[in-house]
Chains A and B, each alone.
Chain A
Amino acid sequence: CSQADLGPISINWFEELSSEAPP
């Protein structure tokens, strides 16, 4: 497996998911 299998990675994933998820 390579990182390509996991798609684009973001260090700030928690903040980004929190801003995208319904409140």
Chain B
Amino acid sequence: DSLKQTERADVPAGDNLNPGNLQLVSKLKNPSGSCSVDVGAVWWEIAGVKQPCIVTACEYAVSLWKPLGPGQWREMYSWLFTEVPVLQIVSMPDVYNLVCVALGNLEIREIRALLCSSDGESEKQVLLSSGNIHAVLGLTERRLVSSSRTLCDQQVEIITFAEDGGSQGKQFLMPPEETVLTFAEIEGMQEALLGTTIMNNVVMWNLNTGQLLRKMHVGDSYQASICHKAYSEMGLLFVVLSHPCAKERGPSGSPVFQLIAVNPKTALSVDVMLYYLPQGQAGRFLEGDVKDNFAAAVLTSGAIAIWDLLLGHCTALLPPISDQNWSFVKWSGTDSHLLAGQKDGNIFVY
């Protein structure tokens, strides 16, 4: 049914929205004086028990916070970087006792695994990859995919690493001609990988063989789309995209997220659902995260908006707190929390 028309679901007026669906459960303050850049969640074994921990990243420090009690967190480990600043935390779907981070200035120069020593007494870090890296994604089964540019061409490689962060193997995928911007796994298909390119194509690989299977153009309405989630159903591929480069246009603006259906056999695609801001709200996508049926985005207005992808409309709007715009937002991979951060180091857990 969802393919019969491009839905423009009922959009509640902005003043009906509030963060009521979101309950603030705790807040933590990154003590580092440098600018906060990212947040994430990871399972970490502490005294023989795996616990859902929070990872915060500032420009020159990454910290692991363990839960102390309701609403309370204690900084347990801190990895420091003196030369190259941290750009992002790279979430690894099924890994514990290890955090991956991307370091660089405008572009990623290094990807490192952050761990602690076997006695748990000291932090350590392992260099996994270096170069002019454009895109990186943590995959299931301790794999990490990245694309990088050399003088002549583009390399797309998969690193498999061991529990101690050491590299176990490297595999190259056939690179497309265009620069890859983002990667996404296809849910339930560990042998398949998607990427989006700078020319607004979705490309697909077979991870077992390294073959580049398809290049599928997904329209000229938006450039440089980001792929957040993909799943295959009944012979079609459903892909959730966002559009950081979309211009604000028309009375409703541009959609922040978009669900498309692609036929991999023909490379033809159609819009299934467009996810707009509530009426009266301005802004476009800055950065965001999708988990299960929920999408969250930091907007240029400084607010965070949340969509139920099945209902089709925005279900919560989180305005800036204490006159501080939101900078980044992530769904926790360890529980049902939303992690929202501000540049000054405040992290709010909803």
A positions within 8 Å CB-CB of B: 1-3, 5-11, 13-14, 16-18, 21-23
Contacts and interface: CB of A to CB of B under 8 A. Distances in A.
A7 B270 CA distance: 11
Contacts of A9: 234-236, 263, 265
B271 A14 contact: no
A6 B209 contact: no
A5 B271 CA distance: 11
A6 B236 contact: yes
Q: Is the interface of A mostly helix, strand, loop or mixed?
A: loop
A22 B266 contact: no
B216 to A, nearest CB: 11
Contact of A8 (B5, B262, B265, B271): B265
Interface residues of B, number: 29
Contact of A17 (B3, B189, B213, B269): B213
A11 B234 CA distance: 6
Given A18-B211, A21-B213, A13 B271 contact: no
A7 B14 CA distance: 39
Given A14-B206, A23-B209, 7 more contacts: A1-B5, A1-B270, A1-B271, A6-B236, A6-B261, A8-B265, A17-B204
Q: Is the interface of B mostly helix, strand, loop or mixed?
A: strand
A10 B3 contact: no
A21 B265 contact: no
B209 A17 contact: no
Contacts of B4: 1-2
A16 B206 contact: no
B236 to A, nearest CB: 6
Interface in B239-293: 261-266, 268-271
Given A1-B271, A2-B3, A16-B265, A10 B235 contact: yes
B6 A1 contact: yes
A6 B263 contact: yes
Contact of A14 (B191, B234, B262, B269): B191
B255 to A, nearest CB: 16
Given A1-B6, A2-B4, A6-B236, A17 B266 contact: no
Given A9-B235, A9-B236, A18 B213 contact: yes
Contact of B266 (A7, A14, A21): A7
Nearest to A15: B206
25 contacts: A1-B4, A1-B6, A1-B271, A5-B268, A6-B261, A6-B263, A6-B269, A7-B263, A7-B265, A7-B268, A8-B263, A8-B265, A8-B266, A9-B263, A10-B235, A11-B234, A13-B263, A13-B265, A14-B189, A17-B204, A17-B264, A17-B265, A18-B206, A18-B209, A18-B213
A15 B212 CA distance: 13
Given A1-B6, A3-B3, A9-B234, A22 B268 contact: no
